Structure 1
Amino acid sequence: MRHSVLYTLVFSALLCVACAILVSASAVVLKDAQEANKALDRKLNVLEAAGLKAPGADLSAAEVDRLFAAIDQVFVDLATGEEVEDGDPETYDQQKAKRDPAQSHLAPENRSRVTRLPNRVVVYKIENAAGRLETVVLPIEGYGLWGTLYGFLALAGDTSTVVGLTFHDHKETPGLGGEVENPRWKALWPGREVYDREWRPALQVVKGAAGPAAEDPYRVDGLSGATITSRGVTNMIDFWLGPEGYGPYLANLRSERSAA
């Protein structure tokens, strides 16, 4: 039996509506899953930088949440170095804030090629049973060879000794600059010092091999065949530990530690 033109049009319209609803519902479900995976990856990298998770360890989401419960997430005003209570650190999107002129400001010229800075950042603190700071984990970013590297740098309570370093997003060449993810290279960082005795950023990724941390605290082995990426990591440390980055905040932490 032949269907009328009206029937065909109505059927087509209903089919389009059904497909649109299905696509929209799928997009919502996928977005939620992507956001959950992004949050899980952030937590895993913070835990690894802080030495609470071994590189490559396969943890369930429940195990990650259990370990992460020991970490205090706080907002820090970059300009003042003061901790502020304003919003939910768990849902704060630092990269989105950077793109909003109301939530960010122009960065001074720097070798890391950071162009804008969020007015506030989320840092991660771990304290011992006595309430004394043991570890602080700082988000860092900077340009390598092909693009921006995003990672976390963990420092001990003295705010100078490196606990760990991770990179979770970058565009560097696999086998060369991409070795920033290599556990063997990351294992060279703990015990190094980011500041000299005058509290100036001093840690450098050098060409060739550096000595052990106890003997050569201000240098880390360079990445073979990746001079520009290595220099980018040095620039990143220099910028974020300086006055435009976490310098004021870390100075405040040291003052609190001395007063305790």
Structure 2
Amino acid sequence: MRQSNLYVILFAIGLTVVFGGALSLTSVGLKPLQDKQVELDTKKKILGAVMDISTIEDPNEILSIYNEKVKSMVVDINGNEVTTDAKGNPVVAEKVNIQKNYKFDPQERMYPVFMFSESGEGVDAYIFPTFGAGLWDWISSYVAFGSDLNTVKGIAFDHKGETPGLGARITDPKVQNRYIGKEIFNDQGELVSITMVKGEGNAGLTEHQVDGMSGATITGKGVNAMLEAYLECYSAFIQKTKSQKTASL
């Protein structure tokens, strides 16, 4: 019996080592493919905020368009460009994990800025990633502004677990298109963001308001809080860029 028990234990240990090693090797082997998929997904979301890429199926074409039309940088909450992290490693905007950054104090986060140019010259749109909490889990967006850094050119929302047919509608192009043409600064130059109001078919909406989603009030509030918080964090960069544009005229 003792030999039998020892055999069983050794056999179990052997299986654990063999299968553990196999899983480890598989994970290492798949990592480049996983990283490539994450890169593609990120760049699709960024482009999706400023142009229609729904009919483009070839991943290489997506990447080619991105490389041709998008430049990027990372700034801190004061609007200053960040080129290296605390360890001295180069910082790449596309590799900044917004979800992990969200856990840090806003003063310590890194803020990617993506600059879209249709012709490759100048900047036609500035794209900012945002992250926050919805009803059940996280929500996020890439919001694009025109060269005035005020008027929305497009927005691409995403979520993990909002209710289908209700809060999950933030990914519906019809909902996202409501933001196009809206403004985040009032006539006094104050940052007021854009508010998704309660209900749909509201009359008299201002340039700082969009219709809500029926039955998804909490998701709407989460979207509002997310946009307001992140636009405030990007406000220093926005003001600096506007000042530079004015000075160059």
2:79 counterpart residue number: 81
Query: Shift of residue 118 of structure 1?
Result: 4.3
Which one-letter code corresponds to 2:55 in the other structure?
A
In structure 2, relative to structure 1, the CA distance for the partners of 1:253 and 1:59 (3 Å cut) is farther
1:209 counterpart residue number: 201
In structure 2, relative to structure 1, the CA distance for the partners of 1:85 and 1:211 (3 Å cut) is farther
Partners of 2:163 and 2:229 in 1: how far apart?
A: 23
Query: Shift of residue 98 of structure 1?
Result: 4.9
Q: Deviations over 1:29-63 (max 9, x none)?
A: 33333322222111111001022x34x33432201
Partners of 1:58 and 1:219 in 2: how far apart?
A: 32
Q: Is it true that 1:180 corresponds to 2:183 in the alignment? A: no
Which one-letter code corresponds to 2:175 in the other structure?
W
1:114 counterpart residue number: none
State which of 193, 210, 216 in structure 2 corresponds to 1:220: 210
Partners of 1:64 and 1:130 in 2: how far apart?
A: 16
In structure 2, relative to structure 1, the CA distance for the partners of 1:158 and 1:223 (3 Å cut) is same
State which of 225, 230, 245 in structure 2 corresponds to 1:235: 225
TM-score (norm 2): 0.82
Query: Shift of residue 131 of structure 1?
Result: 4.3
Matches within 5 A, 1:156-175: 156-175=146-165
Query: Shift of residue 204 of structure 1?
Result: 1.2
Query: Shift of residue 126 of structure 1?
Result: 1.9
The structure whose residues are more often strand, as a share, is 1
CA contact (8 A) 1:98 1:118 kept: no
In structure 2, relative to structure 1, the CA distance for the partners of 1:239 and 1:98 (3 Å cut) is closer
Query: Shift of residue 198 of structure 1?
Result: 2.2
In structure 2, relative to structure 1, the CA distance for the partners of 1:65 and 1:202 (3 Å cut) is closer
Matches within 5 A, 1:134-145: 134-145=124-135
Which one-letter code corresponds to 2:34 in the other structure?
Q
Which one-letter code corresponds to 2:74 in the other structure?
F
Gaps of 5+ in 2: 85-89
Query: Shift of residue 91 of structure 1?
Result: 3.1
2:65 counterpart residue number: 67
Which deviates further from its counterpart, 122-131 or 144-153?
122-131
State which of 99, 113, 122 in structure 2 corresponds to 1:132: 122
Residues paired across the two proteins, number: 233
Query: Shift of residue 17 of structure 1?
Result: 4.6
Partners of 2:202 and 2:57 in 1: how far apart?
A: 33
CA contact (8 A) 2:159 2:168 kept: no
In structure 2, relative to structure 1, the CA distance for the partners of 1:168 and 1:34 (3 Å cut) is farther
CA contact (8 A) 1:162 1:192 kept: yes
1:112 counterpart residue number: none
State which of 234, 241, 249 in structure 2 corresponds to 1:253: 241
2:87 counterpart residue number: none
Q: Deviations over 1:136-187 (max 9, x none)?
A: 1101112221222111111111011001111233321110000000111112
CA contact (8 A) 1:179 1:223 kept: yes
Partners of 1:150 and 1:67 in 2: how far apart?
A: 23
In structure 2, relative to structure 1, the CA distance for the partners of 1:162 and 1:98 (3 Å cut) is closer
Partners of 2:47 and 2:100 in 1: how far apart?
A: 23
Which deviates further from its counterpart, 167-176 or 89-98?
89-98
1:155 alignment partner, SS class: strand
Gaps of 5+ in 1: 108-116
Partners of 1:24 and 1:127 in 2: how far apart?
A: 42
The structure whose residues are more often helix, as a share, is 2
CA contact (8 A) 2:154 2:176 kept: yes
State which of 86, 91, 97 in structure 2 corresponds to 1:93: 97
Partners of 2:102 and 2:108 in 1: how far apart?
A: 5
